Every structure is written in structure tokens, then in C-alpha cells.
Structure 1
Amino acid sequence: MHPASGNRRWLVEPLIGIVLVLIWAVGFSTRLVSFVPVRGEMISSTTPYAFALVVGFAAAIALSRVAIGTSLVLVGVLLTAQLLFWPARFSALSWSAYLMLLVFAALVGFYAAGWMRMVAPFVLVLYAVVVSALLVLPRFSATSIDGLINGKHLSTVALIPDLFVCGGVAALITFGFWYLGFRLRLVSPALRSGWDDATSPIISIAQRVLLPLRPVLEPAIAVAFYVLWIIAEAGRSGSSSWPSFPFTLSLLAASIAVARTYPRVAVALPGVVLAIQLFAIPTRFSSTTWPVYFAVLITCLIVSATADRRIRWLSLPIASVYVVVITTLMTVPTLSDGYGWTSWVGAGNSGDNVFKSFVGVLVVGLLLTAAAWFIGFGLRASQLKRAADAKLGATVDELRSAEIDLIVASERDRIAQDVHDIMAHSLAVIIAQADGARFIGPQRPDAISESLERIAASARTSLAEVRMLIESLVEDPDGHSNPTLENLDDLVQRMRGAGLTITVNRFGDPTPLTSGQQLAVYRILQESLTNALKHAGAHSAARLTLDWRGPGLALTVASTGEPRQYPDSNARGHGHCRGIYGMRERARLAGGWLTADVDDEALGGFLVTAFVPTACVVEETTEATEAALLAAEAGSR
């Protein structure tokens, strides 16, 4: 979405960048100094250069939608500046600005397309390694004496293992956020319609490898969390009378491990740790171990993403209570052997400093907790949406298959009805002529030639109509042979020639009918006269009435004759044979109605009555119905 468009969604990313800068500036010690300190003195302060880099990270986030390549280059330039220009490096607290790059990685995964989709994850992993070097190696720290986060004064060679561990973890976390953005992109309906369905080979390989390992993901995170912290704090807990840190660390790691399978236990374990720390001073965390509390955020995220509705909604207020207790343990000096956050950041333990640190840590902690919970909630919603989309796709496929079957069945029924109407009429005429010629041949030899001519004419007509039907099926599935009302006289003459006595009565002046209505009337009369010829027996006769005096055509076919002693299975009065069913359907589709039943007042009588409205009446009815629907809709509004 380009800024020049009328849609303002492109403002989302700039607002995210501004909010992250404000959270970083308020939540951490980021006071600016008006001078560049002497190398080695920049411990807890942030220089204007480092602040400018944070603004640059925010700018990269703001550009992630409209210029993804430019934003990647910008981040690379900023990290290169920190490698080469030491005053631009972060202090022991302000390095948290690197967390903004995780949000940037998710946005890159969400918006990158084409070849950029292939290149972006490798570039992001490279940036993660550079950040790890800036955090671990003393030569890339602001003081060039100790590592930024490990506080170790060692040579670069000695810190290579730490660099590998930190770089690997940072690379995995960065790739995870990129993959999160990529998955959100796939389930976004607004964006998925405009993107191709090609999947990155990296994603395909990752899915094949990681999906079978999904059940052990949370335990693996817990083990990594525990092991990395034990390695980081090795040798620092020797003065304790008992291994308090490994014990409390194991409880928090256990809360991560069981968060998916036993969410209630996972939510309760941090509370157990905090209760122990409130009453047992040796178990409280210090200036180097307080980040262990981030395990509460990880547990909250997993529970929000995987637990049932009740525990999921309870986890947020419970985690918020934990944040209040954690903030108290971290900032109140009496609960931390006279030390606390103010001492850890180099400030005094005055009441004003303690209050400010309490409020700052509490606000940041609550924001991070809410963010973790909502991220988990979003992941769950995304998973449910994918499942719903899969079910919807399966349902749509089934409906499409059923629709195809219905269309095929309807087309077969239409073809069968047309073949029945054409062939039944022609064969009835041919049979009647052949039987007549066979019976009267010995007495009137000259009548045989006349009957054969009529049989040939009926056969040619039937053959022509069948040929037209076949051609219409090939060229146009909706088209077929279309006799009109002008062909009624020919129909009547053929039936009279076949031996059926027909009387035709017409009333009123004909009014226009559509081609479909004329075909319906023709087929109804054809079927009615054919049935009269077939089933009325000897001395069959029919009276045909066409009445145009109403809002349409009212037609009646009344047949009489001597009933056969052994009627066939399709005898009139059955009412459910294909012929009568087809007449009713044709009348209904033409906008009218039809009835057919035995006429008890006449010997061998059968009565067919139908009505087909004229085209103008159909149009007026349709317009009136649409107007009524519009009026009803307007009234409901």
C-alpha cells in the first residue's frame, strides 16, 4: 500500500516505530548527554549517536511496507556504523533497542515478496550475528574493556564460544520472528489474493523438519533456557549456602516446558517462585539474573496460544499480578538486601528514585506482558482461521462437486424429456399409420401408399428434430429445437393423419409469448395429443381449445375414446409418468401451471388444462416483485 493511495494503512508501521522508541526511552536509562564521553566512561548513559541509531531502527520499521529493500539496507548501514564508530554503541541498558529489530524481522517476513523473500532471511540472520558480536565481544563494546551483556574481560579468542552461543540463539529468534510474519502473510485474506502461491524453499524445508518436532518445542525451549542461564551464571552462586538459583531457574523453566500440555500448572509455577522469593532472601535474583523473569512472558505467550478459553483469559490478569510482585522485588531495596534496580542502574536509593524505578519497571513489565499475551492470542486466532479456511475449502469443493452433479443430472433430465417429447409423438403417429394400413390394406390397397407417405413424413420430421437437438447439445448446452405456435397447425394435421379426430377452438386475439413459452405450449399440446392417440383406444378424439381472452393463453385438451381393456404401464390417470411430469415442469418454467387427470364425465376421457401468462404479464410481475422486495428492504433499514 503506497502512501499516495487513499488508504491510510501505511501509517501503521510508522506508528509502531514511534511507539517502540517511546517505550525504549521511557523504560530504560536513556538520558542523553551533550558530549561524547571519554572511551571507557560510557556505562549507563546513551549518547546522541546511539539515540540516532534507535531512531534509524524506527525509520526502518516505518519503511518496511513501502520500501522493504531500503529498510534492510538502512539497518545494515546502522549496524556497520556501530561496528566502526564506538560512540554510537549502546550502553549496558540501552542495548535493549536491538529488540526493535525483532519487530522489523516480522514485518520483513510479512511484506517481502519475489526474490526479496529468498534473500531477506539470510540478511536478517547476518544482522543477528553482528548484534551478537556487539553484545558479547569487548572490542565492539562502548568501553572496549568488558563485554556489553556478559561483563567479561577476556580476549576475543576466549569469547568465541560465547559468541557462537549468543549468535546461534539470536539467529534462531530472528528467523522465528521472520517466519511468524511470513505465516501471518499467508493467512491474511487482503494480501493473499494479490500474491502468488509460490512458497520459499526455506519455508518448505523448515516445515518438513520442524513440524514433526512440534510436540517437543516447549520442552526444548525450556531446556535451552535453563542450560544457557546455568552457563551464564556459572561460578557466581558459589557463596550461596544452597543452590538457590538453579532451583528457582528450574521452576521457571518447568513452567515453559509444561505450558502447552498442563497450562494450569504452568501458570501456577511462577507464583510458587515469587512466593519463595518473598520469604527466602537467598532465592531472589540479582543485577545479572533478573532477566530470568522473562520466562513469565514466554509462559504467558504459550498459554495464550494453546490453552482453553478459561485458563487463557485468566492467564493475563494472573501474569499482571506476577509483574507487580516482580517489580516490587526488583525495585524495593528492603526486598533485595538493600540493593535493587536503582543500584543496578547506578542511581541512589532515595525514595524518589525508588518510586520512579518502580513505576517505570511496572509500566514496561505490564506492556511486555500484554504484548506477549496478545501475540499468543493472535497466533491462536491465526491457527483457528487456517483450520476454518481448510474446512471451508473442503465444504466449497463438496458443494462445487454437488453443483456439477446437479447440473449434469438436470441436463440429462432435459435431454431425456426432449427425446421423449420428440420420439413419443413421432412413433405414436408412425404406429397408428402402420396399424391402420395393416388393417385396411386388404379392402383399400390404395390407402397403403398414403399411410407410407405419412409414416415417412413423420419419420423425417422426428429425425430433423432429433438432429437439431443433438446439434444444440454440441454448440449450446441451453439451446435445442424450438418449434413455435406457428407450427401448431402442422402438428394438428399430422395427428389427424394418424387417425386422431381433432377439433380446434380459438378465442381472442393471440398476444406475444416468449420463445421459451411458445416451446412449452407446443410440447404440452404435442404430448397431450400423443397421449390421446396412444391411450384413448378406438375412435379416439380430442377437443383443443386456445383461449387468449385473459392475461395469457389458457389451453385445454379434452380427449375421449374407448378405453383399452389392458392399459399399459403408462396409462393415463397414473399421473406420474414422464410425459405428464414433463408437461407440468414446462408449464411451471413458463410461468404458468398445468393439471392433468381423468375426465369422469366422458367415456375414456382425459382432461389437460394449462395456463401460460403472456410476456408482458411476466415482466410486470417480476418488476412488482422486485419493487416489493426493495420497499421491504428500505422499510427494514
Structure 2
Amino acid sequence: MRIRPLTVDGLTALAPTTVACLLGAEAARQGWPPLDAFAWTLVALTNLPLALRGLAPLTVFVVVHLSWTVYVTLGYWPVVNSPAAMVALYTVAATRSNRVTAVCAALMGGVWIYAGAISHSDSMASVVGQAIGYPLVLWRFGYVARRTAELTVRLRAEQAERARREVAEERVRIARELHDVVAHHMAVINVQAGLARFVFDSDGRTAREALSTIADAGGEALAELRRMLGLLRADGVDGTDGAGEHGAATEPTPGLDRLEEMVERVRAGGVPVDLRVHGEPRPLSPGVQLCVYRVVQEALTNVLKHAPGAAAAVELVYRAGEMTVSVTDDGHLEERGRGMDPDRMPAPGGHGLIGVRERAKLYGGTIVVGPRREGGFGVHLTLPTSEQAARRGDTVTG
């Protein structure tokens, strides 16, 4: 249970008040006039305002020292209320600027010296030393407390800002992943739905194959979305501990072993795709495999959406310490030799282009995206396949 600051200040005020009561009872035995009703009233006016020190430090400081000065002027033992004056000065030092604290410290020192002078103390040198030393020590303690509080506030603000950035980055990552998952399958579904509608009355077999492809693409999209939800639940907050819907295990992260399946789906969408692999395939980390899969998926999705009738080629080349991935197409058949479709130019704000760039950057790769001289469009990705090579940098061009 969190204690309110006003309650803390009230409890803090009890300490100097208790000390003042004990010292006041001893005043007569110390050779000072015993405290009468008016003197006890001044003791209360000097100590009890400390309960409000957090709300109005300067006001409390002034009230405390005015009451203390009146108390001293009437000839009572000055030491009785000195703890309250110290607490008041410390509070100012812990909450106000050095300039304000300096004025208050000088005021407290002045009252201290005044008390020594009016009581005709035999050790004024000691009184002056105390009048200088105590305020300086309290000023220092208060300053340290104030700096600590300021640093704590700043640290919390930085932590909150860092948390906001991490949330924003996570949202971007999820948005990119959702784009990669949904855009590809929706492109296939859109093409196949158009085909099924076109041949529904004239070619039932083709229509059924198109509908089957739609069902497969929709099922795979749902499976990948469930996998993403499973990853988001991987911390076990919902009690599934990474399990999918209805307790089912999540689908594995797409990798190179599913490239052929994706290519077949694109072929079913009406785009001839040639998949070629050169070099000796070797095990790659799941992250690198997912990066390759998503880049190829995004490139083929763009072919489906922007270059119907074009032929595409996917080429994977394994080299020492790296692998390259190229996805190219020959553009619209009717546009061969006459330039690039403006709709297919890489837009700086496009989610797909941002996604492939960020994926390449994440794994220390390079990516070139743009039109080809011989016509069509190309995506060329190079990824380091060793930890040492991955540290070379994260250059991205396009």
C-alpha cells in the first residue's frame, strides 16, 4: 500500500515535535525559564506546520522561523525549536533552487546567531560555527536529495520513452508481418476468384481448381495468422504458453522448405514461375530463412498484382559466407521494350518495400529493388550466412 506524501510529512513532523516537547520539559533544569501556555503555543506553531512542508516548503519555512524568533525573543531556551528549523531548511533545499536555499540558509543562520546573542551565550564562537555549519550541511543533504529526485524523474521518463519506442517498433514489426502474410494470399485469392467467375459456366473443372486454390490460400493465411498470434502470446499471459487457438500448437515459421509450395500457389494464380537453386544448400538460421521467404513472397505478390501475364524467375545461390536471392519478371507482355509500369515503381512509403528493406537490414544484408534494363522488375537480396559476416554492416539500397 502506497502511503500518501501528506501522511509521510505528518509523521515526519512528529519527530521534531516530540523532541521539542522533551526539551521543553527539561528547560527549567537547564537554567532556562519554564515553558508556560504561551510558550507551548509557540512550540506548536513552530513544529506542527512541518506537516504541510511538502505542499508549501517556503511558507512553512517562514512560519517556522517567525515563530522560533518570537519564542527566542521572549527569552525561552532556543534549542527547543532548533530541530524544526533544520527540517524546514532541509525541505527547502530538497525542493527549491540553490539561490532560494542560500537565502533561507542565511536566514536560519541569522536567527541562530540572534538566539546566541540575546541569551548572552558565553561561547559565541561555537554559536557562530553552528550557525554556519548546520545550514551548509542541511543545504548539501537537501541538494543531493533534490538531484536524486530529478535524476529519478528523468530516468523514469527515459524508461517510459524507451518503452513507447519499443511498442512502436513492435507495432511496425507486426504490421509488416501482417502485410507479408495477408497481401500474398489475398493476391492469389483475388486472381483465382476472378478466374473462377470468368469460367464458372463454361469450364467447371477450372472453376473448381480455382476455388480449391482459394481455399488452400485462405487456410494457409489463417494458419500463419494463428502462428503470429501464438508468437504474441508466447509469454504465457493468456495461459497458452505459445499454443495456438483451442490449445493447438502454433505453425512453424515459414522457411526455405516452403518456397516450392509458395511458388506452386503463384503458378496456380496464373504466373509462370521458374525456381532455381545453385550451390550446395546448407542449414540457415530460422530468421534468415524467414527473411528470404518473405522477400520472395513480397516480390511474387507484386508480380501477381502489377504484372498479370508476366513470367517470373526465383533464383537462390549459395556462396561461401553468403547467399543471394533474385526475383525477376519480364513485365507486362504488351509493355516489353517500352519501359516500366509507373504503378510498379518503388514508393518510398510502401509497406512492402519497407518490409523487405527492414528485413535485409535486420540480418546485415543488402537489397536492390527496381526496374531492369531489359524490362520488367527485379529484387536482388544478399544475406551473410555466418555470424562474422553478419557484423559487416546493414547497407540497404534501392
| TM-score in terms of structure 2 length | 0.70
Matches of 2:379 and 2:133, distance apart in 1: 71
* 1:449 and 2:208 matched: yes
Q: 1:377 to 1:615 in 2, by over 3 A?
A: same
8 Å CA contact 2:371, 2:377 repeated in 1: yes
Matches of 2:61 and 2:19, distance apart in 1: 24
How many correspondences in the alignment?
348
Matches of 2:204 and 2:26, distance apart in 1: 113
Matches of 1:483 and 1:552, distance apart in 2: 20
SS across alignment from 1:591: coil
Q: 1:392-541 residue pairs with structure 2 within 5 A?
A: 392-440=151-199, 444-476=203-235, 482-537=253-308, 539-541=309-311
Q: 1:308 to 1:452 in 2, by over 3 A?
A: closer
Matches of 1:125 and 1:450, distance apart in 2: 95
Aligned to 2:35: 164
* 1:217 and 2:64 matched: yes
Aligned to 1:358: none
Shift of 1:495: 1.1
SS across alignment from 1:548: strand
Matches of 2:149 and 2:361, distance apart in 1: 40
Aligned to 2:357: 584
Aligned to 1:628: none
Aligned to 1:555: 325
Q: Residues 52-98 of structure 1, C-alpha deviation per residue, up to 9 Å, x if partnerless?
A: xxxxxxxxxxxxxxxxxxxxxxxxxxxxxxxxxxxxxxxxxxxxxxx
8 Å CA contact 2:192, 2:210 repeated in 1: yes
Shift of 1:608: 0.7
Q: Residues 530-568 of structure 1, C-alpha deviation per residue, up to 9 Å, x if partnerless?
A: 11121113x211111111113122111112221799x99
Q: Residues 152-211 of structure 1, C-alpha deviation per residue, up to 9 Å, x if partnerless?
A: xxxxxxxxxx31159958x959x97xx9xxxxxxxxxxxxxxxxxxxxxx9747867987
SS across alignment from 1:446: helix
Shift of 1:398: 3.3
* 1:608 and 2:379 matched: yes
* 1:382 and 2:154 matched: no
Aligned to 2:29: 134
For 1:430, give the aligned amino acid.
I
8 Å CA contact 1:575, 1:596 repeated in 2: no
Matches of 1:464 and 1:124, distance apart in 2: 73
8 Å CA contact 2:52, 2:60 repeated in 1: no
8 Å CA contact 2:273, 2:313 repeated in 1: yes
Higher alpha-carbon deviation: 417-426 or 441-450? 441-450
Q: 1:168 to 1:612 in 2, by over 3 A?
A: farther
Q: 1:233-312 residue pairs with structure 2 within 5 A?
A: 308=99
8 Å CA contact 1:484, 1:518 repeated in 2: yes
Aligned to 1:571: 344
Q: 1:472 to 1:214 in 2, by over 3 A?
A: same
Q: Residues 346-397 of structure 1, C-alpha deviation per residue, up to 9 Å, x if partnerless?
A: xxxxxxxxxxxxxxx6xx71x5534432321232233334443444344344
SS across alignment from 2:281: coil
8 Å CA contact 2:284, 2:385 repeated in 1: yes
For 1:437, give the aligned amino acid.
A
For 2:324, give the aligned amino acid.
A
Q: 1:602 to 1:398 in 2, by over 3 A?
A: same
8 Å CA contact 2:279, 2:317 repeated in 1: yes
| TM-score in terms of structure 1 length | 0.46
Q: 1:564 to 1:469 in 2, by over 3 A?
A: farther
Matches of 2:390 and 2:350, distance apart in 1: 32
For 2:209, give the aligned amino acid.
E
Shift of 1:529: 0.9
Q: 1:597 to 1:497 in 2, by over 3 A?
A: same
8 Å CA contact 2:189, 2:217 repeated in 1: yes
Matches of 2:194 and 2:170, distance apart in 1: 35
Shift of 1:585: 0.6
8 Å CA contact 2:384, 2:390 repeated in 1: no
Structure 2: gaps of 5 or more residues: 1-10, 79-84, 243-249, 394-398
Structure 1: gaps of 5 or more residues: 1-115, 136-148, 151-161, 180-201, 233-290, 292-297, 331-340, 342-360, 623-637
8 Å CA contact 1:422, 1:466 repeated in 2: yes
Aligned to 2:81: none
Aligned to 2:396: none
Structure number, greater radius of gyration = 1
Matches of 2:98 and 2:207, distance apart in 1: 91
For 2:360, give the aligned amino acid.
A
Matches of 1:589 and 1:209, distance apart in 2: 53
Matches of 2:265 and 2:379, distance apart in 1: 20
Q: 1:392 to 1:207 in 2, by over 3 A?
A: closer
Aligned to 1:109: none
Q: 1:594 to 1:441 in 2, by over 3 A?
A: same
Shift of 1:129: 4.0
Shift of 1:575: 4.2
Q: 1:118 to 1:573 in 2, by over 3 A?
A: closer
Q: 1:575 to 1:558 in 2, by over 3 A?
A: farther
SS across alignment from 1:223: helix
Matches of 1:120 and 1:130, distance apart in 2: 16
8 Å CA contact 1:595, 1:609 repeated in 2: yes
Matches of 2:325 and 2:143, distance apart in 1: 60
Matches of 1:371 and 1:579, distance apart in 2: 73
SS across alignment from 2:35: helix
Higher relative contact order (CA 8 A, sep 6+): 2
Shift of 1:591: 2.3
For 2:164, give the aligned amino acid.
D
For 1:134, give the aligned amino acid.
R
For 1:602, give the aligned amino acid.
E
